[in-house]
């Protein structure tokens, strides 16, 4: 097979990789993208963000129908619902096919050449790809490593059989009678909540003192209450030891060892960057713990070799990878850019949802500055009440001296859609007065942001 060359080679067609390739090609850069699988989109589109949100939506619809089997406060009643999970998965698959097909079309329209197969570095400027028709050698001036991450495995619970990752959980065609979720982070709670709504008996085992330890306790309390309402058993300060028999999981907690029934065991203890398998040892790269070390231009220790997304560290979020990919594409095209995003939103699609942007209360206090805080309860928001979603709040943190907004958090139904407004406020370096003076449409959940800012200024209207 004849060697080919390009100015930019992107390894990995996930959100960061394909965005980088499209933007670079739009800017006139001769670009090739390589991925081991033929469908672009990476984990997010194929086995992560999108399919999990589809399952969550289906579970929400099923739970709403189930609540109306005996009538509800709206005066709506219906028969007992049933779910054909295999059909739900077909619907989910159709969404994935449409989105990945759209990405393929965008790559083609931009003029990006695609090569399918595992990639491996020979050196910093030469990569070989094992395609179905032979080894394709590619010479390039610049490389972007966007190899993503994979589920972390527990030594005591190796994957296989009843022990599954989120990938297998999102491909189940029947609702398991019992499900043990190892890890009370966002992945485990999102999927665990969904399956609980679909009828599974769910137990969450978390090694930390409480679930979602990356968020402050005020944000997680409504989630904890909702899990209890759904019948989800949460066991904290506890570790999973291993399977001891058919459908039995051994755990060790404050009260000693015990067993719980678990037809399926979903392990969600984090994700690890994919830093092996593509020839890293052939390159003079520096590591930052398990991640590739990059500078403010997303460049590694080797000139012309860039890295973006999960392989570069936290936060391991698709939108962070996309933003990094856009920056690197512009740098390769000759523009003066650097990676300095200060406002990257994090969204937990639990019930209720959690959104955080910027500094948390603890981080703000650790800065040493005096802080102003404003909180507005969704129980006083008209739109939330009409949606039967009045549990939760919006909170704004700002410097006391100049009122510069440092962080915004929210918990409640549908608050994920407020993340863009939260991020914009921080990205534009808004002050409390800016947010408070912005006219917010009524009735909307967004009014809670305005009200929280006014509360921080001591000018609350509806609190």
Per the annotation, the verdict on 57 as an active-site residue is no
The answer to whether residue 220 sits within a structural domain is yes
Strands, sheet with 201-205, edge to edge from the N-terminal-most edge strand: 163-164, 264-267, 178-182, 201-205, 233-235
Could you tell me if 377 and 297 lie in one domain?
A: no
The number of angstroms, rounded, from the C-alpha of 127 to the middle of its chain's C-alpha atoms is: 30
Could you tell me if 15 and 119 lie in one domain?
A: yes
pLDDT over threshold 80, residue 71: no
Instruction: Compute the average pLDDT of residues 82-99.
Output: 96
What is the per-residue pLDDT for 367? 82
What is the total count of domains within the chain?
A: 3
pLDDT over threshold 80, residue 70: no
The answer to whether residue 99 sits within a structural domain is yes
Say which DSSP state 58 is in: H
The answer to whether residue 315 sits within a structural domain is yes
CA 147, 153, 157 angle in degrees (round to 5)?
A: 160
381-418 burial: b if 16+ Cβ within 10 Å, else e: bebbeeeebbbbbbbbbbbeeebebbbbbbbbbbbbeb
Could you tell me if 201 and 314 lie in one domain?
A: no
Tokens at 112, concatenated? 């990006």
Locus of tokens 């440092």: 406
Could you tell me if 49 and 135 lie in one domain?
A: yes
Could you tell me if 188 and 112 lie in one domain?
A: no
What is the per-residue pLDDT for 257? 94
The answer to whether residue 339 sits within a structural domain is no
State which residues form the domain around 310. Answer: 4-150+272-332
**Residue 146 near residue 16, CB atoms below 8 Å:** yes
Could you tell me if 70 and 192 lie in one domain?
A: no
What is the per-residue pLDDT for 272? 97
Could you tell me if 367 and 235 lie in one domain?
A: no
Catalytic residue among 297, 403, 440, 442: 442
Q: Which tens digits make up the pLDDT trace of 242-301?
A: 998 778 999 999 999 999 999 999 999 999 999 999 999 999 999 999 999 999 999 999
The answer to whether residue 190 sits within a structural domain is yes
Separation CA 402–CA 389 (nearest Å): 34
DSSP per-residue codes, 168-228? HHTT-SS--SEEEEE--SHHHHHHHHHHHHTT-EEEEE-SSSSSSTTS-HHHHHHHHHHHH
What is the per-residue pLDDT for 105? 98
Cα–Cα separations (whole angstroms), residue 282 to 104, 138, 171 = 31, 16, 37
Q: Which tens digits make up the pLDDT trace of 101-159?
A: 999 999 999 999 999 999 999 999 999 999 999 999 999 999 999 999 999 999 999 99
**Residue 339 near residue 30, CB atoms below 8 Å:** no
The answer to whether residue 146 sits within a structural domain is yes
């Amino acid at each position: 097979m004849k060697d080919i060359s390009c100015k930019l080679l992107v390894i990995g067609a996930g959100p960061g990789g394909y965005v980088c390739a499209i933007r670079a090609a739009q800017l006139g850069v001769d670009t090739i993208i390589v991925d081991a699988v033929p469908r672009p989109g990476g984990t997010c589109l194929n086995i992560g963000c999108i399919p999990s949100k589809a399952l969550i939506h289906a579970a929400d619809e099923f739970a709403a129908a189930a609540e109306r089997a005996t009538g509800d406060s709206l005066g709506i009643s219906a028969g007992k619902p049933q779910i054909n999970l295999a059909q739900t998965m077909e619907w989910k698959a159709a969404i994935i096919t449409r989105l990945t097909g759209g990405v393929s079309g965008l790559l083609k329209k931009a003029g990006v050449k695609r090569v399918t197969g595992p990639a491996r570095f020979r050196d910093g400027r030469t990569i070989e790809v094992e395609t179905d028709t032979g080894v394709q050698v590619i010479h390039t001036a610049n490389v972007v490593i966007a190899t993503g991450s994979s589920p972390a495995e527990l030594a005591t619970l190796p994957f296989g059989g009843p022990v599954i990752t989120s990938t297998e959980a999102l491909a189940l065609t029947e609702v398991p009678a019992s499900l043990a979720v190892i890890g009370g982070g966002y992945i485990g709670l999102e999927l665990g909540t969904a399956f609980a709504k679909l009828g599974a008996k769910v137990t969450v085992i978390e090694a930390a003192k409480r679930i979602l330890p990356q968020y402050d306790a005020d944000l997680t309390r409504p989630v904890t209450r909702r899990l209890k309402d759904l019948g989800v058993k949460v066991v904290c300060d506890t570790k999973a030891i291993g399977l001891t028999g058919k459908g039995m999981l051994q755990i060790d907690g404050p009260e000693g060892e015990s067993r719980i029934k678990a037809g399926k065991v979903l392990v969600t203890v984090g994700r690890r960057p994919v830093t092996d398998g593509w020839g890293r040892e052939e390159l003079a790269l520096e590591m930052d713990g398990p991640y590739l070390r990059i500078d403010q231009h997303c460049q590694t220790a080797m000139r012309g070799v860039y890295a973006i997304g999960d392989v570069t560290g936290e936060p391991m979020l698709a939108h962070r990878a996309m933003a990094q990919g856009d920056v690197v594409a512009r740098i390769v095209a000759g523009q003066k850019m650097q990676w300095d995003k200060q406002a990257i939103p994090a969204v937990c699609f639990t019930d209720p949802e959690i959104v955080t942007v910027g500094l948390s209360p603890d981080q703000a206090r650790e800065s040493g500055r005096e802080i102003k805080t404003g909180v507005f309860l969704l129980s006083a928001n008209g739109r939330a009440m009409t949606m039967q979603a009045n549990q939760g709040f919006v909170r704004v943190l700002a410097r006391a001296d100049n009122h510069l907004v440092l962080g915004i958090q929210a918990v409640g139904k549908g608050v994920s859609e407020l993340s863009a407004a939260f991020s914009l406020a921080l990205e534009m370096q808004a002050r409390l007065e800016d947010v408070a003076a912005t006219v917010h449409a009524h009735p909307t959940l967004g009014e809670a942001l305005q009200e929280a800012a006014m509360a921080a200024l001591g000018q609350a209207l509806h609190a």
